[in-house]
């Protein structure tokens, strides 16, 4: 690596999944991806009901972080960074969670606020998409929160909003039957609309003209993989492709009629996401309607990549 290049290990500890990347960054671009991985640990399981991160989800999350760090160490990263998002932000036992992670791994878990999460996601999602027309709106549906970020350049966001509604929290609050009942679906849609009404009113003046919408994170990529009938996930076939709102609505309608076991047999639905993909689809479908968007561009990059770029920038 040149003196202007840094090798970063970044682990994004989310409400539903943990994602790791080791990459070289040069001139504020990811020049080479060395290692990437991600798995569902459901850290935020039961958080809505109890207010705390439970022992079982914490233990399996810490175990996975340890595994990721062990696989990254041989590549000798200049910096190892762990970031925590919605679940850790909301947990009343946050201090204990941070201590447990530090004691087990030797690396501190940094809790980032919702606005920071949104800004870093914007940079990551747009960082390696090309030939897009400005302005841009990035939608990131996570396990415990959803971020909406507007900007007029690829590198600078102008408005960033984070709403504490995500696929894990919405599922645990609203979807209790298998398959879900019609009133559960209707109530979930109403819950999402109510949660985002305030943010939509603030964003609307910026969306009077056309905007390029980019969707990132597991819900969007899973819906795209499902739409394409992709049994084995291939980010190269997902990244940069378009997904129309009408298609999203059709996919959500189909998912709402299936049991969990039936969803798991569908192409593109990974184990551990079968109970969450419907809520994610509902959030996305409602948002697209509220924002009057006809479709979006799918990005396989997001918070992890944005945080990695930010970390490299601090080393200059």
pLDDT band at 3 (very low <50, low <70, confident <90, very high): low
Residue among 284, 268, 273, 276 nearest 234 (CA): 268
What own/partner pairs with CB < 8 Å and gap ≥ 24 does 1-6 have?
1/26, 2/26, 5/31, 6/78, 6/79, 6/312, 6/315
Between these two residues, 237 and 314, which has the higher pLDDT value?
237
* pLDDT greater than 90 at residue 221: yes
- Residue 314 scores a pLDDT above 60: yes
Instruction: Indicate whether 208 pLDDT > 70.
Output: no
- What is the C-alpha separation between 38 and 301, in angstroms, rounded? 13
| Assigned superfamily of 5-114 | ATPase, nucleotide binding domain (3.30.420.40)
For 170-179, how does the pLDDT look when each residue is reduced to its tens digit (9 = 90+)?
Answer: 999 999 999 9
The closest alpha carbon to 77, from 32, 31, 25, 22, belongs to: 22
Could you name the CATH architecture of 129-300?
Answer: 2-Layer Sandwich (3.30)
Domain 129-300 in the same topology as domain 5-114: yes
Query: Where exactly are the structural domains of the chain?
Result: 5-114, 129-300
Give the pTM: 0.89
**Digit-coded pLDDT (tens) for 50-59:** 999 999 999 9
Closest CA to 78 of 11, 158, 22: 22
């Amino acid at each position: 690596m040149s003196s202007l290049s840094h090798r970063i290990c970044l682990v994004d500890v989310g409400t539903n999944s943990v994602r790791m990347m080791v990459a070289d960054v040069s001139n504020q671009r990811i020049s080479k991806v060395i290692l990437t991985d991600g798995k569902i640990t459901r850290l935020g399981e039961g958080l809505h009901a109890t207010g705390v991160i439970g022992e079982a989800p914490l233990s399996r999350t810490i175990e996975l972080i340890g595994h990721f760090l062990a696989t990254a160490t041989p590549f000798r990263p200049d910096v190892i960074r762990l970031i925590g998002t919605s679940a850790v932000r909301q947990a009343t036992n946050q201090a204990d969670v941070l201590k447990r992670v530090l004691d087990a791994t030797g690396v501190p878990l940094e809790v980032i606020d919702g606005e920071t999460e949104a800004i870093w996601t914007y940079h990551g999602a747009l960082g390696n998409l090309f030939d897009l027309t400005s302005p841009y709106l990035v939608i990131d549906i996570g396990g415990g929160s959803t971020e909406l970020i507007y900007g007029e350049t690829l590198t600078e966001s102008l408005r960033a909003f984070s709403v504490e509604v995500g696929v894990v929290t919405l599922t645990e609050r609203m979807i209790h039957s298998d398959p879900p009942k019609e009133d559960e679906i209707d109530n979930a849609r109403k819950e999402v609309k109510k949660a985002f009404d305030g943010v939509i009113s603030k964003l609307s003046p910026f969306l009077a003209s056309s905007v390029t919408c980019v969707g990132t994170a597991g819900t969007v990529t899973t819906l795209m993989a499902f739409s394409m009938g992709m049994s084995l996930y291939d980010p190269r076939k997902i990244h940069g492709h378009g997904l129309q709102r009408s298609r999203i609505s059709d996919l959500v309608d189909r998912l709402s009629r299936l049991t969990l076991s039936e969803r798991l047999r569908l192409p593109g639905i990974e184990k551990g996401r079968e109970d969450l993909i419907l809520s994610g689809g509902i959030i996305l479908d409602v948002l697209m309607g509220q924002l009057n968007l006809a479709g979006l561009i799918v990005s396989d990059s997001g918070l992890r990549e944005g945080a990695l770029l930010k970390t490299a920038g601090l080393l200059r």
